[in-house]
Structure 1
Amino acid sequence: MIEARHLRVLRAVSTTGSFSAAARELGCTQPAVSQQMKALESSAGTPLLIRTGREMRLTQAGEALVRHASGILAGLTAAEEEIAAIAGLRAGRVRLVSFPSGSSTLVPGALAALRAAHPGTQVSLVEAEPPRSVEMLRDGDCDIALAFRYGTAGGEWDDLVVRPLLKDRLIGLVPEGHRLAGADAVDIGELADEPWIAGCPRCRRQLVEVCEESGFTPRIDFATDDYPAVIGLVGAGLGVAVLPRLALESVRPKGARTVTVEPAVEREIVALTLPDLARVPAVAATLDQLSRAAAR
């Protein structure tokens, strides 16, 4: 196997014309140069140098190897510098996938802090709800997935690195003129006869489960993944809804009032990555900033 250190010795011998001169240039001993040249010729399987008096002359194979050595060594140097930049967070790329309410609340502060601390690190962002975002992570289409779950489904993410960020409580949303608009807290059973506006599929399933545990099945008149649309429909008096607190942080509920719903239902917000990716400096730094953003 041809090693980079052997190529450096060959190039020095070719440039200086002798083992002793090459040794002086490289800062090593002449026997060390001779030993490395023997190892290189053994790996190449053919002589690379011919001694002519006090000087060394390259064979045809030696000339070919020297021609390629410069490009190989230059490529290795560039690779070493790039890797050092990535390891030192002077460069790097992170592909982030987030659900919409996370994109509008947690992600902006985290990415702004990351850019301030490590301006050479580039982050791309696309939106996807779990479980699609988790599938993208496992398929290699992203480096970090911002996701959520209700309860703790056993084994769901056992193959991933899970960074817990926060617990996000569901908040009730009713029209301004609703009979419960001024209530401090509302038992979800008091909304049994109301028309409902439901959110994303995972949130929809959770809504049905919570309502059934309280003794009724919600009549879902409208379903949309767009939280502003949910708020708009409630504000227009077309039904009631429960939304995560994060979803309400970035949208002004015009025409609607928020109420605390009992029993309390929370979703767990997490950042997910693969075990190998968790050791990549840019990915680790992004996870840290997401944790700090969630704590604010």
Structure 2
Amino acid sequence: MADLRQFEALRAVHAEGSVTAAARRLGWGQPTVDYHLKNLEQLVGSPVLVRTPRGSRLTPVGMLLLERAQQILTLSERAIGDAREFSQLGRVRLRFGTFATAAATILPFVAGSVGDLGIEIDATVEEVPALVDRVNRHALDAALVYTVPGYELPFRPGVEAMEVYRDPLMLALPAGHPLASRPVIDLAALLSLRDERWLFATSVDDAIDRVVADTFAADGHALDVAIRSDDFQVLLGMTAARMVVGIIPRLATTAEHPGIVLRPIDDPSFVRTVLVATSSPEDAGRRPPAAVRQLVAAVRDGFAAVRVGRGPAL
């Protein structure tokens, strides 16, 4: 079995260019470095170094090992650091932002999960543009945001955004609508709704509305946006009253809605990607990286539970 000291010796020789310099870097004797490298070569069954009078360099086999060794050493160092950090932290408060539908569905799970680890959440519920701005200014440690295919969020360098969920967009129709009998709405059927009255979000830059409007614009049509509201219950109520049609994320459909038919749209553009965005540890400064990683892990677990409970994401 490989010894972490073998990987440390390999990394040091690559960085310093010789076994002697690697020994100084590590604070070991040169025979100790040689010992670990020779044991590594025995495990691999091939030389990992080319030694010359001017120093040493890694063989192709050594370079392959180095790539894996750096990953292993980084994870090992992080594990020790995280454990040490958590043993000294006590309780930590993290600033976490989310949009409304994720707050209703995911936030209770996340708060409960990280609470068991001594992490308290200071939650903020806002629209996506405000959340992006807060993350960019380091006013939040992490935020849940969303976008749709083809629309990038304006994160500053140093912000990492990781996908945690793919949320299909559903067409909301009143019961009895001519398209309500279809199990799935294809693009041609969707475009047949060009003369309907639509409900869009309050913000003119809403990502979901943009993909809808752009789809119709590409077919040469501008939609009649009759109502603007950020409340999905308003959308459902007005759709049931046959006043509008609209698009609603599946995550926001938590119960049966009388008078409403929700249908998936058979087009890859009609899905929103939910991301968890965090500042880099260097930018986050005072916030413990281990605590932020635990928060991100809880978010992933929360959405994994949603997938199991609601079926696979489209």
Fold similarity call, TM over 0.5 = yes
Cα 1:146–1:155, aligned 2, differ >3 Å: closer, same or farther? closer
Equivalent AA in structure 1 for residue 302 of structure 2: A
Secondary structure, aligned partner of 1:131: helix
What residue is the counterpart of 2:139 in the other structure?
141
* 1:209 equivalent in structure 2: 214
- 1:214–1:88 Cα change, 3 Å: farther
Query: Does the CA-based 8 Å contact 1:197-1:223 persist in structure 2?
Result: yes
Alignment RMSD (CA, Å): 2.3
- 3-state SS of the aligned residue for 1:263? coil
SS of corresponding position for 2:212: helix
Alignment partners' CA distance in 1, 2:213 and 2:250: 19
SS of aligned partner of 1:179: coil
Deviations 1:166-194 (A, max 9, x none): 11111000011212212112231121121
For 2:26, the equivalent position in structure 1 comes to none
Corresponding position of 2:225:
220
How many angstroms apart in 1 are the aligned matches of 2:213 and 2:289?
A: 40
So what's the TM-score if we normalise by structure 2? 0.62
Letter in 1 for 2:196: E
The 2-side partners of 1:142 and 1:163 are apart by 16
Distance 1:234 1:154 in 2: 30
Q: Contact conserved, 1:106 with 1:293, CA < 8 A, in 2?
A: yes
Q: 2:174 maps to which residue?
A: 175
Shift of 1:91: 1.2
Q: Aligned equivalents of 1:161 and 1:196: distance in 2?
A: 35
The amino acid across from 1:237 in the alignment is R
2:104 maps to 1:100: no
Identify the residue that residue 110 of structure 2 maps to in structure 1.
110
Q: Distance in 2 between matches of 1:91 and 1:238?
A: 50
What do the CA deviations read for 1:248-290 (whole angstroms, capped 9, x no partner)? 1x35423211112232411110010100148622211110000
Counterpart in 2 of 1:238?
243
SS of match in other structure, 2:177? coil
For residues 194-242 of structure 1, give each alpha carbon's deviation from its aligned partner in whole angstroms, at most 9, with x where no partner exists.
1111135313223211222344221111110111111111111111111
Unaligned runs of at least 5 residues, structure 1 = 1-83
Partner Cα separation in structure 1 for residue 111 and residue 216 of structure 2? 37
Aligned partners of 2:215, 2:258: CA distance in 1, in Å?
26
Asked if structure 1 preserves the Cα contact closer than 8 Å seen for 2:162 and 2:277, the reply is yes
**Is the Cα–Cα contact under 8 Å of residues 172 and 247 in structure 2 kept in the other structure?**
yes
Q: Percent identity?
A: 20
Supply the distance in 2 between the matched residues of 1:289 and 1:86 (Cα, whole angstroms).
16
What count of residue pairs does the alignment treat as equivalent?
211
Change (3 A) 1:179 1:154: closer
1:280 matched to 2:289: yes
Which of 236, 254, 260 does residue 258 from structure 2 map onto?
A: 254
Q: Which moved more, 1:284-293 or 1:152-161?
A: 152-161
| Deviations, residues 79-123 of structure 1 (Å, cap 9, x unaligned) | xxxxx77565641011111011111112222222222x31x2111
Query: Does the Cα contact within 8 Å between 1:231 and 1:254 map onto a contact in 2?
Result: no
- Rate the CA distance shift 1:247–1:199 in 2: closer, same or farther, 3 A: farther
Equivalent-residue separation in structure 2 for 1:127 and 1:182 (angstroms): 36
Are 1:188 and 1:214, in contact at CA under 8 Å, matched by a contact in 2?
A: no
Map 1:46-125 to 2 at 5 A. 90-115=90-115, 117-118=116-117, 120-125=118-123
Q: TM-score, normalised by structure 1?
A: 0.65
Query: Aligned partners of 2:94, 2:180: CA distance in 1, in Å?
Result: 44
User: 2 CA distance for matches of 1:173 and 1:180?
Assistant: 10
Q: Which stretches in structure 2 are left out of the alignment for 5+ residues?
A: 1-83, 306-314
